[in-house]
A = this chain, B = another copy of it.
Amino acid sequence: MDDALILMADGGGGERMMDLVRQEILSRFAPADASGELARLADAAVLAEAEGQVAFTTDSYTIRPLEFPGGDIGRLAVAGTVNDLACVGARPAALSLALVIEEGLERAVLGRVLDSAAACAREVDAPIVCGDTKVVERGGADRLFINTAGVGRIEGGRRLAAEGIRPGDRVLVSGPVADHGVAVMSRREGLRFASAVVSDAVPLWPLAEALLAACPGLRVLKDPTRGGLAAAVNELAEAAGVGIEVEEARVPVRPAVAGACEALGLDPLNVANEGKFVVVVAPEESEAALSAMRSHALGREAAEIGEVRPAPARGPRVTLRTRIGGERVLEMPYGQDLPRIC
């Protein structure tokens, strides 16, 4: 028996699986779970009663490679789900963690990835309270997939939703775009000149909390993951039934990221982020939102990038004022530029 690799028997529901769960899961996540629910290994965790509405979200992560500059699938899985909760204004209350492991995965890799997930969860005090472990035979999965679901609490009955967006509202982004996608892609493609680019994967709840406190007129937060800023803005315009104009020159992009996108034939506006918000806010609070973000470590390079317009009678909802002064449609990406990016 080679304990360095995960075997099919580690997922069978028997004594071996209990050992794996104790060694790899409970050791890392139970100490941070004040409720003690994870350690009970019951069929479901019971959360403490609390005031307010409950938010609920899920995401599966299939990123390749599992480890990349600035993060790994464990960090991504925790940050991504915390960020989805933050987008509706919910403080993360409890997370689940479900693993699908390909037989033969090195336990050392699993350990590193779970260490990283645990560290990320501690950053925002979001305990992992329930989970699941499945093992499939070699060739039945690509090393490791992680699903995280999250439950959050919305305090003060405040509702962030695209439906609150009005013409005249300002569109902001909390920092430079496309870092995550470019970091992963340049690792995958072996682009040496982009080696300085690291993923922005980070749990954004603290930034959301700062924005909620600073801006009573905060309409909505959205994390521009797959499909990048272009998809996020299009989805907001569609959901709100408005037009949005984005000014290309105002969208922050790091030079190394811009260079890598050029080399890869990608538009940075279509490339995934894992630690940024698109923020829509009432016009009179745009400055307050910018200043709240810029005075926070997670939003130092925040920028106003556009404005909400009345719904166009027909035609595209999102337009881009280009650097050279022209105007073009900022399209919803069609298929995908970067597979397996999250």
Contact = CB atoms under 8 A, between A and B. Distances in A.
Interface stretch (A9-17, A248-256, A281-289, A304-312): A9-17
Contacts of A48: 53
Given A9-B334, A12-B339, A14-B231, A45 B41 contact: no
Given A47-B55, A62-B140, A136-B142, 17 more contacts: A8-B335, A11-B339, A12-B333, A12-B335, A12-B336, A14-B226, A14-B332, A41-B235, A42-B87, A43-B85, A43-B87, A46-B159, A58-B131, A59-B132, A60-B132, A137-B340, A149-B149
A100 B149 CA distance: 15
Name the 8 nearest CB pairs between A and B, nearest first: A12-B336, A13-B226, A9-B335, A149-B149, A13-B227, A44-B57, A58-B96, A43-B87
Contact of A43 (B84, B100, B130, B142): B84
Nearest to A37: B56
B44 A55 contact: yes
Contacts of A49: 52-54
Interface string A302-342: 00000000000000000000000000000011111111100
A188 interface: no
B44 A90 contact: yes
Q: Interface SS of chain A: helix, strand, loop or mixed? A: mixed
A68 B56 CA distance: 31
A154 interface: yes
Contact of A42 (B47, B88, B136): B88
A94 interface: yes
A243 interface: no
A151 interface: yes
